[in-house]
Amino acid sequence: MPTSTSDRPWTRPLTALPDGANPYSTARTVRTGDVDTGRRLRLDGIARYLQDIGTDNLAAVGAADTDPLWIVRRTVVDVHRPAHYGRSLRLRRWCDALSTRWANVRVRLDDPDDAHGPLIETAAFWIDIGPTTGAPTRISDGLFEHMSRYAHDTRLKWKAWLPDSAPETVDDEREFPLRVTDFDPFGHVNNAVYWHGVEEVVALRADIVEGPYRAVIEHLRPVAAGETVTLRTGLHEDGLTVWFTVGDHTRAVAWIARNPDALRWTP
């Protein structure tokens, strides 16, 4: 049984924003399209905020033409205190680790005028993609220099955290119908859509989102138009794991748990 963060890497605490850092910052107001029936900002809403600030950040530093395309391989979301409908949020974005072709990018969502207000910490492993090759490509020199400002590691390597195969027996299994609007210009399911699936099965353990919680998702292979996706969910003591499967193949896996002991929750 895993007993440490080295055994369970998905429980590793996120790095702190360096003292004196001045990361890219923007604001967002939580609207009706991103909240649940209890007015809580959903995980798919958070994912869209991360996509938008990423695009805005590239434009702000002049990298929209040199490094226009990125895909996300893993996203970590730590909800210390949730945001709700109508709340104005500050989003700050910086890179804490990178290599020549990918980067681990942090985004913190909070309310600077309310020390006890919402606090959501995120980290996403983004891969720079060549617009003509569709393959991982080198980050441009200018963007690499900019992203390195607050990085503690410039030799970042990819290592999967979550088990990519579902057990033979699961606690819940259901089809996850896809819509035409779920697909991006490359014919793949947008990453925020996977969080719709996570929100769907969180109803099996609604207590998770009542307190601080962490959610992690890893994308293994894209889902293409016409494929049938099945969510296979296993429940555990503090949360659940869900596998997005097409036939016998796993396309993505997500893990969500309420306040794991290994996490360092901010007061």
Helix, strand, or coil (residue 180): helix
**Whole-number pLDDT of residue 238:** 85
What are the mean pLDDT values of the chain's consecutive 10-residue runs (267 residues total)?
A: 61 87 96 96 98 97 96 96 97 97 98 95 96 93 97 95 93 96 88 96 91 95 93 93 96 89 45
CATH of the domain at 121: 3.10.129.10
Residues in CB range of 141: below 8 A, 6 or more apart: none
Distances in Å between the alpha carbon of 79 and those of 31, 42, 115? 18, 10, 15
Residues 146 and 183 in one domain: no
**Whole-number pLDDT of residue 261:** 54
Residues 31-69 pLDDT 10s: 999 999 999 999 999 999 999 999 999 999 999 999 999
Residues 176 and 144 in one domain: no
**Domain span at residue 225?**
172-258
User: Does the residue 191 lie in any domain?
Assistant: yes
User: Does the residue 229 lie in any domain?
Assistant: yes
Distances in Å between the alpha carbon of 117 and those of 11, 79, 120, 223? 24, 12, 10, 37
Asked if 78 and 113 touch (Cβ cutoff 8 Å), the reply is no
Helix, strand, or coil (residue 106): strand
What's the whole-model pTM score?
A: 0.94
Q: Distance (Å, rounded) from C-alpha 265 to C-alpha 267?
A: 6
The number of domains in the chain is: 2
Asked if 216 and 13 touch (Cβ cutoff 8 Å), the reply is no
Q: Check residue 261 and report its DSSP letter.
A: T
Distances in Å between the alpha carbon of 217 and those of 17, 56, 57, 204? 22, 23, 23, 18
Strand order in the sheet with 230-236: 24-29, 88-98, 102-110, 119-129, 69-81, 213-219, 249-258, 239-246, 230-236, 172-175
**Whole-number pLDDT of residue 159:** 95
Residues 188 and 126 in one domain: no
Region of residue 222 (left: phi > 0; alpha: psi -120 to 50; beta: else): beta
Helix, strand, or coil (residue 228): coil
Residues 139 and 225 in one domain: no
Residues 119 and 42 in one domain: yes
* Size of the chain in residues: 267
Q: Distance (Å, rounded) from C-alpha 256 to C-alpha 242?
A: 9
**Whole-number pLDDT of residue 2:** 42
